[in-house]
């Protein structure tokens, strides 16, 4: 399952709300988090998912660069990237589907 978790300008280290329509999910179901540039329309960075913990979430200098952290209870994420996330950018999450097969056509 492909989910657009964030779009347009996404600031580093900011606690950012999920985009509208994002379903509930568990961190363990995340297979890949990637950024698609709004300028070049290509995938530019794949991010490492850091496990959520309250101390790291509150730390304004975390996560590490090219990492992302999710607070599924608050429906927010924090990211740090060497690549700017300008207007038109998409932050995509590939999820393991729950209890259903995905039909490829």
Mean pLDDT, residues 60-89 taken together: 91
At 105, the pLDDT band (50, 70, 90 cuts) reads low
The residue that leads in pLDDT, 38 or 55, is: 55
Q: What is the model's pTM?
A: 0.83
Domain annotation covers residue 104: no
Domain annotation covers residue 8: yes
- Number of structural domains in the chain: 1
| Domain ranges, residue 75 | 2-95
One DSSP character per residue, the chain reads: -EEEEEES---TT--EEPPTTPPP--GGGEEEEEEE-TTT-SEEEEEEEEPP-HHHHH-TT-S-TTEEEEETTTTEEEEE-SS---TT-EEEEEEPPSS-PPPP-
Domain annotation covers residue 105: no
pLDDT at 56: 95
Summarised one tens digit per residue, pLDDT across range 48-63 is: 999 999 999 999 999 9
Domain annotation covers residue 101: no
């Amino acid at each position: 399952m492909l989910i657009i978790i964030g779009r347009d300008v996404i600031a580093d280290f900011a606690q950012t709300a999920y985009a509208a329509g994002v379903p509930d999910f568990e961190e363990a179901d995340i297979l890949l988090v990637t950024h698609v540039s709004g300028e070049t329309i290509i995938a530019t960075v794949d991010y490492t998912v850091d496990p959520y913990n309250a101390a790291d979430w509150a730390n304004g200098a975390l996560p590490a660069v090219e990492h992302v952290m999710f607070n599924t209870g608050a429906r927010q994420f924090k990211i740090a990237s060497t690549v700017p996330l300008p207007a038109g950018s998409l932050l995509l999450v590939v999820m393991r589907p729950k209890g259903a097969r995905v039909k490829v056509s």
